[in-house]
């Protein structure tokens, strides 16, 4: 199997956790390359459900090495809690989980600033986990990396400098209490002791693995339309969730990546604020949300739901260089009499066959739909593409034709076993 990147091709929550879990059996290393614990990958194995926020989904496969790359921002408490939860479920992470010493660290002041900014200005829909403010410090070259925590003198100086600035912002701009240095310093030194055994130079490790012909899978978080550069800015995350982020977030050059696989739902969802041209009416929204269990794995917020939007997925295919598509949650559409596929947008008399950069234009776009008949039968017990109802096959074939990209896998439920290859 080649070295591959798995990306979400919509607004996240496409079912990447399950897809990554399936592909993980065929690789040696699984690398998470961006985001933080604002992401949530859900994997269902029999009666057990695992929700992973930082640790790559491949950890559920014995003998696989999982890497949290330099492009990830890490809340040490959240990471240790997640490791503890896995160990309670008899998933051993020692020697199998490795973390880049260059990954930046989230502090309580990042989370506080995240909350306050969300309250003060027009909402973005952030998870308030401190992700954006931590990436902002990274870009401003004032961030604190994991490697800094292991040198008490370096850490002391950097934390003091950061607190001086952050406390000034908190007290003078937001009129709230700042943070005390000593308590925070000691707390994070303790975190450093607890996670030190996992931390190393993962860039060197991964490139040495490539020399030995080891197979690597890069695990994206969130989705393409939440990418800082290529998404619905400013209603986006603070990192590059597209395939290009796999190189910058891991230290593995782009020429070493062989394939990009995009994951889409058979419909569309998004969490938080921002334009959503194909959003359902309230009644259909409630129906699909309940049937699809469309509630955030990280925040439990209800997801907004809508028809499949070819324009945004076509955009994702382009900016990621997607070679193959996986379609999830086909079963959620089982009870629909008819289905709609958005093939273009209309705004002020102009037809858009591409994703417009202007957020005001996108918000005003009217979707142009094709309508297809539904299949009105249960697909959750189906184990092969050949056994799908004719109209379900037609729906998938039309998506494939619109995207000009091959669908390789179809999922009809949350369990590992409810996934099968699509015939050529």
Distance, in Å, from the CA atom of 231 to the CA atom of 364, rounded to the nearest integer, reads 17
What is the C-alpha to C-alpha distance for residues 296 and 269, in angstroms, rounded to an integer?
11
41 a catalytic residue? yes
Residue pair 236/228 in contact (Cβ under 8 Å)? The answer is: yes
Residue 366 corresponds to which tokens in the numbers above? 């009217």
**How would you classify the pairing of strands 48-52 and 97-100?**
unpaired
Whether the CB-CB separation of 10 and 223 falls below 8 Å is answered with yes
- Four-CA torsion 115, 121, 127, 133, nearest 10 degrees: -70
Strands (DSSP E) found in 182-317: 199-200, 216-219, 259-265, 268-270, 304-306, 308-309
Q: How far apart are CA 309 and CA 115, in angstroms?
A: 31
Cβ partners under 8 Å of residue 380, min gap 6: 331, 334, 412, 413, 418
Active site residue 110: no
Residue 216: phi and psi, rounded to 5, are -125, 135
Cα 265 to Cα 419: distance, rounded to the nearest angstrom: 13
Instruction: Return the structure tokens found at 35.
Output: 């985001």
Distance CA 408, CA 206 (A): 27
Strand partners for 45? 48
Q: 3-state DSSP call for residue 88?
A: helix
Catalytic residue among 21, 28, 41, 92: 41
Residues 6+ apart with CB under 8 A from 29: 64, 65, 66, 67, 206, 209, 214, 215, 216, 217
Whether the ω angle into residue 289 lies within 30 degrees of 0, i.e. cis, is: no
Residue 238, SS3? coil
Most distant CA atoms of the chain, gap in Å: 67
CA distance 195 to 350: 55
| Catalytic residue annotation | 13, 41
């Amino acid at each position: 199997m080649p070295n591959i990147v798995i990306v979400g091709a919509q607004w996240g929550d496409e079912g990447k956790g399950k897809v990554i879990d399936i592909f993980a059996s065929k690789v040696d290393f699984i690398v998470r390359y961006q985001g933080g614990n604002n992401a949530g990958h859900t994997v269902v194995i029999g009666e057990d459900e695992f929700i992973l926020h930082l640790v790559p989904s491949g950890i559920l496969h014995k003998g696989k090495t999982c890497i949290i790359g330099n492009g990830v921002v890490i809340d040490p408490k959240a990471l240790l809690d997640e490791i503890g939860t896995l160990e309670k479920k008899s998933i051993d992470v020692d020697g199998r989980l490795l973390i880049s010493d260059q990954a930046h660290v989230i502090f309580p002041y990042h989370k506080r600033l995240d909350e306050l900014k969300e309250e003060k200005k027009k909402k973005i829909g952030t998870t308030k986990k401190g992700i954006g403010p931590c990436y902002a410090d990274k870009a401003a070259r004032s961030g604190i990396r994991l490697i800094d925590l292991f040198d008490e003198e370096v850490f002391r100086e950097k934390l003091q400098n950061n607190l001086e600035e952050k406390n000034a912002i908190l007290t003078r701009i937001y009129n709230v209490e700042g943070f005390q240095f000593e308590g925070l310093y000691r707390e994070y030194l303790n975190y450093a002791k607890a996670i030190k055994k996992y931390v190393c130079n993962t860039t060197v490790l991964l490139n040495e693995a490539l020399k030995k012909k080891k197979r690597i899978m890069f695990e994206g978080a969130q989705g393409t339309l939440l990418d800082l550069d290529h998404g619905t800015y400013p209603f986006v995350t603070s990192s590059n969730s597209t395939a290009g982020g796999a190189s910058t977030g891991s230290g593995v050059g782009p020429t070493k990546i062989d394939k990009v696989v995009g994951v889409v739902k058979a419909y569309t969802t998004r969490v938080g604020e921002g334009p959503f041209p194909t959003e359902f009416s309230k009644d259909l929204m409630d129906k699909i949300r309940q049937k699809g269990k469309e509630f955030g794995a990280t925040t439990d917020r209800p997801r907004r739901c809508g028809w499949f939007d070819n324009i945004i997925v076509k955009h994702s295919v382009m900016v990621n260089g997607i070679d193959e598509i996986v379609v999830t949650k086909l079963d959620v559409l089982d009870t629909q009499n008819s289905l709609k596929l958005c093939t273009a947008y209309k705004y002020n008399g102009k037809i858009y066959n591409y994703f417009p950069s202007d957020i005001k234009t996108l918000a005003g776009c009217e979707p142009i739909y094709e309508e297809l008949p539904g299949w009105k039968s249960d697909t959750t017990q189906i184990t092969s593409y050949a056994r799908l109802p004719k109209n379900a096959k037609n729906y998938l074939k039309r998506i494939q034709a619109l995207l000009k990209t091959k669908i390789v896998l179809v999922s009809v439920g949350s369990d590992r076993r409810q996934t099968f290859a699509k015939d050529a």
